[in-house]
Each structure stands twice: as C-alpha cells, then as structure tokens.
Chain A
Amino acid sequence: MTTEKFSYDNKIVRNFAVATILWGLVGMLVGLIVALQLTNPKLNLAPYLSFGRLRPLHTNAVIFAFVGNGIFMGVYYSLQRLLKARMFSDLLSKIHFWGWQLIIVSAALTLPLGITTSKEYAELEWPIDIMIALIWVVFAINLFGTIFRRRERHLYVAVWFYIATIITVAVLHIVNSLALPVNFLKSYSIFAGVQDALVQWWYGHNAVAFFLTTPYLGLMYYFVPKAADRPVYSYKLSIIHFWALIFLYIWAGPHHLLYSSLPDWAQSLGVVFSIMLIAPSWGGMINGLLTLRGAWDRVRESIVLKFMVVAVTAYGMSTFEGPMLSIKSVNAISHFTDWTIAHVHIGAMGWNGMLTFGILYWLIPRLYGKPIFSKKLSNFHFWIATLGILFYAVPLYWAGFTQSLMWKDFTPEGVLRYPNFLETVVQIMPMYKLRVLGGSLYLIGVIVMIYNLWKTAASGTFIGDEAAEAAPLEKIAPASHGHWHRWIERRPVQFLLLSLVAILIGGIVEIVPMLTIKSNVPTITAVKPYTPLELHGRDIYIREGCYTCHSQMIRPFRSETERYGEYSKAGEFVYDHPFQWGSKRTGPDLAREGGKYPNSWHYNHMLDPTTMSPGSIMPAYEFMIDNDLDITSTPAKIRTMQKLGVPYPKGFDAKANTSLQKQAAEIAADLGKNGIKVDARKEIIAIIAYLQRLGTDIKVKDQLSAQN
C-alpha cells in the first residue's frame, strides 16, 4: 500500500505548553496572594488588588488559562497522532492560540478593574464572552477539519472526549452568558434570581465536568497508555465510561443549590444524578489505574507515571467526594465552608495539575529530542507537589468542618453558642495559614519544573515539524458489519450529534420547566424593584466581588434563621439580574442585612472593618468614600432592566437620577446626624443604600401576599 508523507505540527503544541506553564505560574501565584490576603487583610493593597477582585482572577486563570492551555496542548499533540494527520489549518491553530491568549489577557485586565458579571467562572463581560465563542468555533473547525482529513478510520476514545468537550462547552457558555448589555463593559444577565442560579450552576458544575474533566480524561486515555507503553485496561469500559459520564454529568448542577430557594424537584434531580456519577467516574479511574497492571514496577522509575498515578487517584478521590457532598445531609454541613474549597483543590491541584505536569515531563523531552535535564529535580517536584496538596487540603477540610459545626452549635438554653460570626473565622485562622504553606510548596514545585524543562529544552533542538507517514483512508465498503460503536466512531458528525442529544436531554429537562414557570415563581407583592441608588449600590457590590465571601441565601435551618433571620424565598429574587446567592461564607450571610445596623455602622465598617468587628479579615473599602458614583449610566441601566421585565414605570429612566439624588441626600443627612460628614455623591452612599435594602421587602409581614 502506498503511504503518504506528512508532518505533525509540534510548534502549536510547544506554544500551548509554554502558555500552560506561564499562566499556571500566574494563576497559582494569584492563588497564593489571595490565600495570604485571608491571613493578613493588610495585603489588600489597592482597590484592583483586593480579594474580591483577585479571587475570580485566580479561578479563571487556573481553569481557563492553565488547564485551558493544557487541554489545547494535549489535544493538538494527541489528535494529530491519533488521526495520523497534521492539524487541518496552521492558520486556524495560530488564531486559536493567539485568540485564547488575548482572552486571558483581557480577563487579567478586566477582572482586577472590577469589570465582572459576578457569575462564578463566567465572570467575563459580554465582549470577551463573544470572543470566547468565536475562538471556540475556530478550535472546533480546526478539530473537525482534522478529523475529516484523517488517515485512521476509527476515532479513539480520547477523541470522543474532545468532541463532547467542544460541543458541551459551547452550549454551556452561550446559555449562561446570555445577557443584555448596558454599555460596552457592563451587562445584566437575562435570567433573574432562582432561574439565574439554576442556569449558573448548571454551567458552573459543567465547567468542572466538561472543561476540567472530560478533556483531561481524553488526555488520560492517550497519555497514560503512552507513558506506560500499554493499551488502556478495557476499551469496553471506556465506552461505558464516556457515554454514562456525559449523560449523567449534565444533570448534576443543582447540587450546588441544596436547601436554597430552588424548587425541591430540581434539587432532588441534582442529588440523584450526582450520586449516580460515582459509577462512571470510578469506572474511568479504575480504567486509568489498571492500565498499569503488570507495570507497577515502572511507576518507581518513571516520573511521568508517578505524576499520572497521583492525578488519577486524585480524580478518584474528588469524584467520590463529589457525590458524597451532594447528599443533602452532608451538604448541609459542607456548603458555604472551606470544605468545598478543599474539594475543588483536590481536583485542580491533584487531577488537573498533576496530569498536566506528567504530560509536560513526557512531552517536552520528545519535542526537543533530549531526555529530561534532571530526574532528581523532577522527583523533587513530584514530592513537594504531593505534599503541597496535602498541606493545602487537609487543613481546609478541618477548617470547613470546624466552622460549620460552630455555626450550628446551640447552648442548652437554645441560643447560638457562637452568635458572632467572627468567632468562627478567628477559630480557623491557623488552618488558613497552613493552607498558605501548602500552596507555597506546590508553587515551589512548579518553579522547579520550569527550570528543569527550560534546561531540557535548551539542551535539545526543537523539532517543529515531525515527519510521519501513513496510508490514506480507503473508501469504505458500504455493507461493513461490525460493532455499533465502531460505526459511530467512523462518523464524527453522527458522533457529535449523539453526544449533543445526550447532554441536551439533561439540560432541557432540568432548565426548561424552570424557565417556563417563570411567570409562576411565587410573586410577593411586597418585593419591589431596586431604587436607582440601590441598583448602583448593587453594581458596586458586584464590582467588588462581595459574593466571593458573602452569601445571600438563608437556608431553612434553625441555626441559620436564628443567626440571619427568616429563610430566603424564591419570590424575593425576581428582580435580581444577576443573582447574588454566593457559594462561600468567609463572612456572614447578607440576605437580611438591611436594617440590621445603622447607616453609620456600615460607613465605619467600609472605612475600616476592624473598627466595627475587631479581628475581621474583610478588606477596607475606604476608596468608596472618595469615589464619585457614576450616575451617567443610570438611565441606560434602568432601560436595560425594563427590557428584562423589571417593572419600573414608563419613562422612569429619565427621572431615575432625581430619585437617586433624593435617596442619597437622605442617607447623607442621616450620616451627618451621626457626626459623619460625607458627600451624597459618593459610592459609599450607594453601597449603604443597597445593603440596607437587602431582605427588607418581606420584613413587612402583613404585606406578604403569597405564602411560600
């Protein structure tokens, strides 16, 4: 048979590898900074370097910059070889690479500037969202173009994972990013309250599933057999793993909203599917680990395998923990605490990080035709990284558990034992310090790796175009009998459609009823739209990332209603574009903050939180006292809200600023009475107005029209 000569594009792989390492370093460094800010709030040096703005930068950098580039590095390497074809278009590869880096740079600029949608892991504003969608399409064209030009009939399991990733991430990203722009850098989510929460966590969970998991499983199915020089343990199991995983994963999102105002049926659905997920996840883990059957002795020798074994083990641990955390009674303890943070870091540092490092140690020597510079250094990296993960996670498990039990602790007399939230924070500070140590160890490992890989690359010569040859695909005889899955594997388009159907079923069954009952979300007549001043205050709250530490969701537990007040109702959030329920309580819940303290308390608390709450780790927001509130955007904001169905009276946009100034003057006058001289035009007035509004609508009990 005649063979065709061609070459693999290693340059794009190398570029993505460099980007993975570079952004990994940045993302982890920002992570270390935010961890330090929690132990030493003085490190909130400037408005654009405060915890609330940097924390989203850390999560986005690690997910989309570090792991994102890691995905592309691995996909571009493995896809070409599995399909025996060069990438479809070098130009598209380049556009993909530079486009993705541009997105990352835009994120790194906008997030510290407070330009954010506040939807976790989807914080980027709409112009960047559009750019992401476009670049994702470029990636898809490049990938499918390569598939169509392949010289290998069958699509290996890794490629299915890539296809499912491409299609699902596109669906998730588009649906969750639907928003109406106010201006170039500000938009409001088209969903509100409960619906926004459901869509957000349907996305949020699947960002974990289809960005941090499925593509990396594809990489596992390629690189683990490569490194072990053995085929995957069971190809049949990989088929079950794939289909069961993508079918089940898409339903699991509501487990992020247990005991919230989300309807019970949606919560239960999320729980059931999350628990079932353990089966395919562990199927995959077992498949990965058993690939090393009969080759375990090699793990002692091969640094690549060491990293991969820890990665797959961490995958097993976090996919065991995930279903457990989805059980309502466990979630009642774990939710809003550091337990969740520990859980995701087992995933991010263990699964994604260690697999990435393993692949890098395997790949760079091959791209440069030289063995790794120092085995000792890579061993050092392995041990310090593993130790770092333990030092990171174990203290946070401890912290989460401790804090949750303290929140729920009652004295025999039936009052909260720790009524002051701060007591529960002070208690876990030593754990936060240990976490800093864990993160530092992990980061040191990365720096050592960079040196090691740099020396390896410097000693070799880069093989940019790797020669290969393979026979072209023959025309297939129409009546070929064989396994059903091989039929699908040969047809990427059918494959794509089938996976699309599998993921859409879950999304539709879960989300559509929520949206169609929109008009039926129990309306509470006492719940009114925000005043223009409160709306501005809310936007400041979003800008500063207050949701990263404060929830606005009181769960129906006695320990919470005692501490915070009446539990939250779905009808209270109908005008919340976007919702601000949060996912973590580093500080107390704010759902019923309104009226709890006088305006002057909030003023002083923003100026320096420790004056009102000694020992507080909240950053100071004194710049809000200096900054003028930008009221030029008020009419546009009101009009956008009206378009989204918020019932401001007709023509209110023109009068909104008058109303705003009136309310601001009242607050400033009240502050003045308490000896605080402040200009009514400052941002602090707006944030106080918003905080004083929170949860007050249904405090007026007799106006409650709907019991829910």
Chain B
Amino acid sequence: MFKNYLQGIEGIATYPLFSLVVFFLFFLVMGIWVLKSDGSSMQKLGSMPLNDTTDIQSEKN
C-alpha cells in the first residue's frame, strides 16, 4: 500500500540500487584493505595498551 506514496518520490527507483552499491563497495574496500595490511605492524598496533607504564602495583588480583 505504501508503494503508491513511495513512488511519488522523485527517482525512488535508484534508492535501493544506490544502497546496494554503497553497501557492497563499503565491505569490498574494507575487506581488501584489511587483507592487504601488513601483519607485523598490525601486531605492533595491537600491543599498544600493554606499552603504557601504568603498573604501579603489579600485585595480581
């Protein structure tokens, strides 16, 4: 029933197409970039929280 109202929007036909393209590109680009990334530097970045010198009291709890 809402079809009628939606059809009233100019260029509505391109909306789903546009969404699909944005969506597809978003994950494609993200996927490629992450896969191409360099593992060792990733590891360095990953250990950032461990590098700060905050352990005042190393007593494990």
Contacts and interface: CB of A to CB of B under 8 A. Distances in A.
B48 interface: yes
B1 to A, nearest CB: 5
A636 to B, nearest CB: 33
A158 B53 CA distance: 18
B28 interface: no
A303 B31 CA distance: 37
A647 B24 CA distance: 45
B15 A366 contact: no
B50 A225 contact: yes
Nearest to B4: A520
Interface in A483-507: 483-486, 489, 502, 505
B46 A231 contact: yes
Given A81-B54, A301-B60, A371-B57, A247 B45 contact: no
B49 A483 contact: no
Contacts of B13: none
Contacts of B57: 365-366, 369-371
Nearest to A520: B5
Given A235-B45, A243-B30, A516-B9, A302 B60 contact: yes
A566 interface: no
A375 interface: yes
A interface, by DSSP: helix, strand, loop or mixed? helix
Given A81-B54, A82-B52, A484 B33 contact: yes
Given A483-B33, A489-B45, 8 more contacts: A81-B49, A82-B48, A82-B49, A158-B49, A231-B49, A302-B61, A369-B56, A485-B34
Nearest to B48: A156
A637 B59 CA distance: 62
Interface in A343-387: 361-362, 365-366, 369-372, 375, 378
A443 B40 CA distance: 45
Interface of B: 1-2, 5-6, 8-9, 12, 15, 19, 22, 26-27, 30-31, 33-34, 36-39, 41-43, 45-50, 52-57, 59-61
Interface string A392-406: 000000000000000
A468 B53 contact: yes
Contacts of A226: 49-50
Contact of B48 (A152, A236, A483, A707): A152
B61 A522 contact: no
A572 B42 CA distance: 55
Contacts of A375: 61
Q: How large is the interface on A (under 10, 10 to 19, 20 to 34, 35 or more residues)?
A: 35 or more
Contacts of A81: 49, 52, 54
Nearest to A467: B53
16 contacts: A81-B52, A154-B45, A156-B49, A230-B50, A231-B49, A231-B50, A234-B46, A236-B34, A243-B30, A244-B27, A302-B60, A303-B61, A463-B56, A468-B53, A483-B38, A509-B19
Contact of A483 (B9, B30, B37): B37
Nearest to B3: A265
Given A229-B50, A236-B34, A484-B33, A517 B9 contact: yes
A298 to B, nearest CB: 8
Interface string A227-263: 0011110111011100110010000000000000001
Contacts of A484: 33, 37
B47 to A, nearest CB: 4
Interface in A72-100: 78, 81-82, 84
B21 to A, nearest CB: 11
A222 interface: yes
B60 A235 contact: no
A29 B14 CA distance: 52
